Structure formats: structure tokens, C-alpha cells
Structure 1
Amino acid sequence: MRRRPRGVFMSRLTGIIVVCAVALGGCAMAPQSAGKMPALSAADAPQPTLLAAVVAPADGSPAAAAAARPDAQRLMIYSAALRMTVPDLRQVQESIRQLAVSAGGYLQEMDSGSITVRVPAAGFERLVQAVERLGEVTSRHMKAADITEEMRDLNIRLSNAEQTRKQLLALLEKSQKVEDALKIEQELQRVTETIELLKGKIRYLESQVAFSTLRVELNSPLPQTQTLARIPFPWVQALADGLVSGKVQPYPDARRGRQRGVQMDLPASYIRFYDREGHTEAMSAEGVLIRVRQQDNYDGGDMAFWSALCRRALVENRAIALADSGDLAMRGDTPGRFFIGQRSSGGEAQGYLLVLAVTRNRVYTFEAWGPQSVLTADLGALKKSAASMRLAG
């Protein structure tokens, strides 16, 4: 058998190595579009057709389909982040986990104030809608990434690498020198590592397309920089500060038989301990506190305006999960409205009641807060007390 000249063999090996380097050199620099997904604001929440492009062809993997057909459906990665206030944090976390499992997904991460789940992309939108119904949504952030071109590029690189590996194996079989065999084996090892790296990237992206991610932060108020500047009324910002920080008047200032603050009929077993013009505070021995304040009605705002603003402040600033609200009949046919909510503090549920009364020149706030069970038991008496406020026009 006639031997192939060594110079020809080495020239062919060098050529394959050069081609391999050119074909594979960009593997480590594959596009990272998944890290730069366009963000949608809460107002631009996804419509029902948002996930339509996620469904992959049934006869192959998303990666193979993208590489084989230029007109293949777009490969999209979807994720969402919600911030919510809820009545019972632990119960809602478990509900979110169960919703994910029932949708064919799984729990990825959970801590004291958040939960992250992954579900098949086809059911992602339904999951987000179901989770949003579990509480008050204070922030919504959606992300979408089109990785069609990235997957096509990775598959082309993988095909080139596998072809190069076949050529190197063929050369290895024909090599007659130990030195040549060692060089080929060294190049084979590099190409094989590149193939495994590319396959790993493709598998990861396929899993991101197949399963979408939802992260929910629970009972976390919005950062103050996002809210304070948008509500220019200090008394609205101060709502529920007693519940959140325990802030009450440090020294009693109320005299028997004399009311200088807002006049009203306190519930039985409650005593007034602070009473100044436009400001009254009282408490029960069981730990429920009452704070009543009178404010100027700026520009004659109506009940719809003040109730919407106060509701937003309670949910966004104070992370209070509002469970109930409604109209309340006040003295003299003055419009009144109540809000009932809950907030966890130190692992214990704290109840909260706000009653608003609006006249042409004044806005009255009646707040009560304390242990959930005690506040619930006193709720009827507290509403009756709020309705008894003597309101000035």
C-alpha cells in the first residue's frame, strides 16, 4: 500500500483545524438576547394572544424546528414578576404552589415573603391571572425574549462542530505517526467539549421556552421613591402608621367630661386618652386602638376621589390586604365609606379598619387597628362608633 506523503497529511490536518477554529470560534460569544428581554409596564399587561408564539411544532424540538424552517414559529421566553398584598401570606403561598402544580409546573423557590414557580408556557397566562385574583396587585412586570435567531445560530454551530469531529475521526484512523495522532486527539477533545457546551446551551434555552417563570413578592410595600411623590397629602401618607410602626400619642392628653377633638360615641370598654382639636385617640384593654382625625377638604374633593386615594395609599405604601369595603351611613346623610384589611406583623395577623366621611370642607378619618381576632369581634361596635361622629360642614 502506497503511503500518503507526510506533508500532504499535515496540510490536510492543518486545514481542518483552521476551519474548525473559524466555525467554532464564536461559540462562546453566542447572542445573549434572553438577558435583554423587553419589559412591559403594568398598564401594558399581556393580552390573551401574548403566548401564542410559544407553542413549538409537535414533530420536533423547538431548536430543531427553528434551524430547519426559516418561517418557524418564534421561540419566546416569558416571565413575570408580581408584587401583591394578601390577607394570609402562608395560605396564598400554598395556593400559588398548588396552582402551579395543577398546571403541570413546579415550585422553584420560596422564602418568607416571596415564591417563584415555573409552569408550561401554554398555561402561563392563565396562571398569572389566577394568582392576581388572590390579593391586591401593587406592581406587575412582564418580560418576553425572542430567541429564535440565537437558537438557529447555536444549531448551525453545533452542526459544524459535529461535522468537524467526523473529519477528525476519519483523519485519526488514517494517521500513521504518533505525533500526528496526538495532535488530532488534542483537537478532537477541544471539538468534543465545544459540542457538549453547545448542546448544554440549547437544552437550557429549550427548557426556558417550554416553561415560563412567575415570581411573586407578597405583602411588600412599593419603594417609597415610587409612591410618596405621587400622593402630596401628608395625612393620606400617614394612614395606618400606627398599625405599621406602632406610632401613637406618647402622653395621655384628655380630660374627663370635655371633648376638644372629634366628638363621637366610643364603643363600650374603650377610653379616650388623647383629645386635641381635630385629633382623638382611644383604646381598649384588649389592644385595639382608635385614631380619629379631621382634615381640610382640598378643593372640595368628593368621596370617590378620597376613597380611591386612601385605598391606594393603604395597599401600595402600607402593604395592607383589603378584604372588604362598602358604604356606611353617617350622621346627617353625609357619605361614608369603610375599608377592612389585614397585615402580618411579627408573624401575627393584625386587623385594620378605616372609615372615611366627606363633607364640603372637611374629610374625617376613623382608624382602628389591633389583633385580628379582637378587631373582628369589635367590628360592629367600631363601625357604629365611626357613624356617630359629629361632622362639621
Structure 2
Amino acid sequence: MRRLAPAAAAAALTALLLAGCSAGADHAGSMEPGVAEPAAPRDQGQTPTEGGEAGSAELDATEPDADRSVITTGWMSVTVDDPIASAEAASDIAEQAGGRIDNRSETPATGTQPASASLTMRVPADELKGVVNELRELGSVNSVSMNASDVTQQRQDLDARIEALTASVDRLQQLLGTATSIADLIAIESELTTRQAELDSLTQQRDWLVDQVDFSTLTLELVTEDVAPDPAPDDFWSGLVAGWSALLAFASWLGVAIGVLLPWLLTGLVIAAIVITVVVASTRRRRPRSVDDTTTVDAPAPTTTAATSETDAPRPPSSGGTPEL
């Protein structure tokens, strides 16, 4: 019986590894271990609206059903008198609904820019409609945008993989308690570590996905009348006024640009003049001397050879006689 125990443990370990590999192969085509596969949303839409009470019907369409997993994100812009105070009121509205504030930025009014505020709120999905309706009362709504992404298939795939890995880890833990040899113990512990790490990764992905489904993300922009979007010109006179205002703005910007560049241009001209002066002076110093400044040297007179003697000169023939012998 003692001899059969290691063989039985090895056979059980082999069967367990084959079962785990077959269970992982069923989901290998849809998602790699530790990486969440983005599922194609079956019902995804974006419903931008403008105005005070407009968009309530579109907002109802983004509410998730009980048997679906939907991630809802939204953006909202509201014109208020005091963005800082309105940001505090918006935070209270989100917290009273059971949500939280993930990001909040406030810009007080200065001499060059008006006040503004921005908040990123996480609101329970079933309380999103009520929160949006309360935020509308803070001021004049400029625009509202909602986006719903269906991740039901992705969540079901994660749940199935986590369930299979959990059962595999439990079986490995049972085999670890019955291992009788060091080799079996090392093999079981190695496989258990791998399966446990994959299980933890998938669990974190599932928890993040559940948090995105349970809490919708809403970004709120609070602005004043000075930075609220101006209406587009719709007739000749409004277009003329808009063009004139743009021309004045461009002329003002051009004057500022010239004022900034003028000191640099003057400095560049002074440096260029100095460089040109130095180059001209150096060129004049290197000019060659003229011909008048050079001294001429007289060439020595050629020497004459001594005159030949008269005896050496040939005699002319006499006229009418015979030459002497």
C-alpha cells in the first residue's frame, strides 16, 4: 500500500493538471490570462442635449437593466453665478446620493480670467438620474452628454474563468495536503502559485468592472457668463459684428507681438552693425601694396667683346686684276 501511494498521488496530480488545462483552453480564445478582453457593446449610444429640461427622455434610455452590466459616463456643463459655491453644493448632492468625488479643481476669479470649477463624480448608477436633475437646478444648463457601454459579455466571461480557477485552486490545495513525496509537493506548489496569481488578477479585473458598472462617472463643468459659449451669428449684422470683433482682437494681438519682438530686433540690428564694421576693417588691413611704392632696379649694361684685328679681317678683292698668290 505504501508503494502505491506515490503512484496514486502522481496520477491524481496529472488528472488535475489536465482538467485545469482543459478548463483554461475553453476561455483562451476569448481572453488571455490577466488581460481583460474589451467586449463589443451591443447597446452603446451618446445622447448630447442642450437646454434646461431637455434630455430627460434620453437620460432614461441610459439606465441599465437588471440583467445587464452597463457602464454609464456623462458630461455636464452649467452656467452659475459663483462656481466655487456651486462646486460645494454639487459635492453635497453627490455625497447625499451615496457617491463620491474623485477629482475636484477650482479656479478663483482674477483680473484676467473669470472663476470656474470642475468635478469628477462617481454616482450610484440607479441614482444618476436624480443627481443630474438636482444639478440642473444649480444654474443654466449649457449641455448634457451621456454614454452607455454594455459589458455584460465581458463580466460573464470573467465570472466563468474565476469560478473555474477557484475550483482548480481548491483541488490543488487538497492534493497538497495528501502529497507524500518532495517531487509531488514541489510540482503541486508551483502549479498552485501559478493558478492563484491568475485568479487574483482576474478577481481584480472583475472588481474594477463591477465598480464601473455600479458607480457611473459624471464630469461637471461650472462656468460663469464670461466663459459660457457665445451663440453663433445667424444674420448679416451679427456676422459683421463678429468679424469686426475678430479683426480688433487680431490687431490687438499683433500689437502685442510686435511690442515683444521689437527689443529683440533692435538688439539684432546693433549686433549686425558691429559685425559688419569689424569685417570691413579687417578687409582693409589685408589689402596688397600699390605698384608706385615698389623700387625699380636698373639692369647692368651688357659687356662688349674685344674688336677683331685687321689682319684677321678678310681683304676685299682688287678690281681688274688677278688675285695675288
Query: Which runs of structure 2 are paired with 1:304-323 in the superposition (5 Å)?
Result: none
Identity of aligned residues (%): 24
* Structure 1 length-normalised TM: 0.49
C-alpha separation between the residues in 2 aligned to 1:117 and 1:35? 23
Displacement after TM superposition at 1:90 (Å): 0.5
Q: 2:239 aligns with which of 234, 237, 246?
A: 234
Aligned residues of 1:82 and 1:141 also touching (Cα < 8 A): yes
Q: Does the CA contact (< 8 Å) of 2:74 and 2:146 recur in 1?
A: yes
Q: Equivalents in 1 of 2:123, 2:65: separation in Å?
A: 13
Q: How far off its partner does 1:106 sit?
A: 2.0
Considering Cα pairs closer than 8 Å and 6+ residues apart, tell me whether 1 or 2 has the greater RCO: 2
Give the equivalent residue in structure 2 for 1:20: 20
How much has 1:123 moved relative to structure 2? 1.4
Amino acid at match of 1:82: M
Instruction: Tell me, yes or no, if structure 1 residue 198 matches structure 2 residue 213.
Output: no
Q: Is 2:133 the counterpart of 1:129? A: yes
Shift of 1:140: 2.3
Residue 163 of structure 2 is aligned to residue 152 of structure 1? no
- Offset of residue 108 of structure 1: 1.7
C-alpha deviations, 1:275-300, integer Å up to 9, x for none?
Answer: xxxxxxxxxxxxxxxxxxxxxxxxxx
Mapping of residues 210-289 of structure 1, within 5 Å: 210-219=214-223, 233-235=238-240, 237=242
* Contact 1:46 1:142 (C-alpha < 8 Å) held by counterparts: no
Structure richer in helix, relative to its length: 2
Where do 1:295-374 residues align within 5 Å? none
Q: Distance in 2 between matches of 1:124 and 1:231?
A: 40
Whichever residue aligns with residue 64 of structure 2, its letter is: A
Corresponding position: 1:162 with 2:156: no
- The DSSP-based 3-state class of the residue aligned with 2:4 is coil
Q: Equivalents in 1 of 2:77, 2:35: separation in Å?
A: 35
Deviation of 1:130 after TM superposition, in Å, equals 1.9
Q: Which residue of 1 aligns with 2:44?
A: 38
Q: Deviations over 1:245-266 (max 9, x none)?
A: 9x7xx9xxxxxxxxxxxxxxxx
The counterpart of 1:140, out of the listed 134, 141, 144, is: 144
CA contact (8 A) 2:124 2:214 kept: yes
SS, match of residue 119 in structure 1: strand
1:36–1:29 CA distance, 2 compared to 1 (3 A): farther
Residue deviations 1:4-26, cap 9 Å, x none? 37566445434433443453453
Determine if the alignment matches structure 1 residue 3 to structure 2 residue 39: no
The count of aligned residue pairs is: 229
In structure 2, what is the Cα distance between the partners aligned to 1:178 and 1:161?
25
Q: Return the offset for 1:120.
A: 1.9
SS at match of 1:53: coil
Structure 1 residue 194: deviation in Å?
A: 1.9
Greater strand share, 1 or 2?
1
Distance 1:218 1:34 in 2: 33
Secondary structure of the 1:111 match is: strand
Contact preservation (8 Å) 2:68, 2:150: yes
- Offset, 1:170: 2.4
1:76 counterpart residue number:
70
**Structure 2 portions without partners, runs of 5+:** 107-116, 256-325
* Pick aligned residue for 2:61 from 47, 50, 56: 50
Deviation at 1:93, TM superposition (A): 0.7
Q: Give the structure 2 partner of residue 265 of structure 1.
A: none
Aligned partner of 1:50: which letter? A
Cα distance between partner residues in 2 of 1:161 and 1:239: 69
> Quick one: structure 1 residues 2 and 124, their matched pair in 2 at CA, closer, same or farther if it must change by over 3 Å?
same
12-21 or 152-161, which moves further after superposition? 12-21
Q: How far apart in 1 are the matches of 2:244 and 2:138?
A: 24
Give, in whole Å, the separation in 2 of the partners of 1:21 and 1:229.
67
- Structure 1 portions without partners, runs of 5+: 56-72, 251-393
For residues 134-179 of structure 1, what are the alpha-carbon distances to aligned partners after superposition, in whole Å with 9 as ceiling and x for unaligned? 2333332211122222222111111100111122122222322212
Aligned-pair Cα RMSD in Å: 3.9
How far off its partner does 1:202 sit?
A: 2.3
- Paired residue type of 1:85: T
Whole-Å separation in 2 of the counterparts to 1:36 and 1:156? 20
Distance 1:194-1:102 versus aligned 2 partners, 3 A rule: same
1:106 aligns with 2:100: yes
Q: Distance in 1 between matches of 2:170 and 2:37?
A: 27
Tell me the amino acid that sits aligned with residue 28 of structure 1: G
Q: In structure 1, how many angstroms separate the alpha carbons of the residues matched to 2:15 and 2:80? A: 65
Question: How many Å apart are 1:46 and its aligned residue?
Answer: 5.4
Give, as a single letter, the amino acid of the residue that structure 1 aligns with 2:173.
Answer: L
Partner secondary structure for residue 176 of structure 1: coil
SS in 2 for 1:157: helix
Whichever residue aligns with residue 20 of structure 1, its letter is G
Closer/same/farther in 2, CA of residues 35 and 168 from structure 1, 3 Å limit = same
Shift of 1:89: 1.0
Which SS does the other structure have where 2:86 is aligned?
A: helix
Contact 1:37 1:143 in 2 (8 A): no
Q: Distance in 1 between matches of 2:43 and 2:233?
A: 29
